[in-house]
A and B are shown apart, each in its own frame.
Chain A
């Protein structure tokens, strides 16, 4: 089992760099997909970019989405509601998605490292959310 991870940021560069940092620490087994910026390359969020990243990240074991803030959170919540509606219609063929209430970079690293061990979606989400309590000083 490998849970996929999607990184949603206002900035394409921030999402890609966070995927790079997390991937370096987790190793290559974890699918980390950035979904940053708008679909025309600007600063903001795009539900279609997130939807496509979720499809790419999903290996059948579910996908954890981490968001930076503001419209990233709102757009991810909107996509989650869409996917739940779709799941009701197609009887479970749509990827299972969980949103992480976690700090973006630290949560991504924590989630990616645990996902590399084959942990399930809920455990990977909790790993991301526990990153709040990792003090730095």
Chain B
């Protein structure tokens, strides 16, 4: 299996569905340490990404991810818009014809680098990077060991969820939560939670 155009569109569509379904949980996590809008913002941004895909009818998986990124940047409204939007655009740009597990691993790494560049966060800052960085590493390791796209995506989703759980004891160093200092300890990071859902969506749509 490769990440063809239909699968790329399915990934974004499924991510929009599960973020929408979990909107109140994400917003609850964000209300604890952030500004309480992450679920609603990202649901709006991903809905715009889906609309952007319907309007542009992209002819390649790379163009599909770039169109989704543009929708996220334009409509999310909060910090997750430029972060995920830049991430999907970079992934789309990187994703050429090699859409097997190795090629998708390279695209996910481009997503991670783009988000790091815009947000300036590193692992341990209690952000989406704490879920995404281990997810990308697990994906690439699985692909390097010969796993197919689905198996690599499952490894990535599992690693993202473990990364999310590991944000609980961390003290936030980015965003509104960072003003709380030690009071940000003891909560899951909402950005890491949405990243785990987005990686799980990739695992679901690549299932045979």
Whether A associates with B in a native complex is yes
Hey, which bits of chain A sit against chain B, CB under 8 A? 38, 42, 44-48, 70-71, 74-75, 77-78, 81
A45–B86 CB distance below 8 A: no
Given known contacts A74-B118, A74-B119, A78-B118, A44 and B85 CB-to-CB distance under 8 angstroms: no
What's the nearest-Cβ distance from chain A to residue B173, in Å?
Answer: 13
Number of inter-chain CB pairs below 8 Å: 42
What's the nearest-Cβ distance from chain A to residue B56, in Å?
Answer: 17
Kindly list chain A residues whose C-beta atoms are within 8 Å of the C-beta of B77: 38, 42, 44-46, 71
B81–A71 CB distance below 8 A: yes
Kindly list chain B residues whose C-beta atoms are within 8 Å of the C-beta of A78: 73, 82, 85-86, 118
Verify if B58 is at the interface (C-beta below 8 Å from A).
Answer: no
A114 to B135, CA, bound (A): 47
Interface size on B, residues (CB 8 A): 16
| Residue of chain A at shortest CB distance from B85 | A78
Verify if B176 is at the interface (C-beta below 8 Å from A).
Answer: yes
A71 to B18, CA, bound (A): 24
Kindly list chain B residues whose C-beta atoms are within 8 Å of the C-beta of A71: 77-79, 81-82
Kindly list chain A residues whose C-beta atoms are within 8 Å of the C-beta of B78: 44-45, 70-71
A3 to B107, CA, bound (A): 38
Kindly list chain B residues whose C-beta atoms are within 8 Å of the C-beta of A46: 74, 77
| Residue of chain A at shortest CB distance from B86 | A78
A70–B81 CB distance below 8 A: no
Kindly list chain A residues whose C-beta atoms are within 8 Å of the C-beta of B73: 47, 75, 78
Q: List 7 A-B contacts (CB under 8 A).
A: A44-B77, A45-B77, A45-B78, A47-B73, A74-B83, A75-B81, A78-B82
Given known contacts A44-B41, A78-B73, A78-B118, A70 and B86 CB-to-CB distance under 8 angstroms: no
What's the nearest-Cβ distance from chain A to residue B17, in Å?
Answer: 23
Kindly list chain B residues whose C-beta atoms are within 8 Å of the C-beta of A42: 77
Interface residues as binary, B166-189 with A (CB distance below 8 Å gives 1, 0 otherwise): 000000000110000000000000
What's the nearest-Cβ distance from chain B to residue A52, in Å?
Answer: 13
A77–B74 CB distance below 8 A: no
A45 to B78, CA, bound (A): 7
| Residue of chain B at shortest CB distance from A70 | B79
Interface residues as binary, B80-112 with A (CB distance below 8 Å gives 1, 0 otherwise): 011101100000000000000000000000000
A70–B175 CB distance below 8 A: yes
Kindly list chain B residues whose C-beta atoms are within 8 Å of the C-beta of A45: 77-78
Kindly list chain A residues whose C-beta atoms are within 8 Å of the C-beta of B79: 70-71, 74
A71 to B78, CA, bound (A): 5
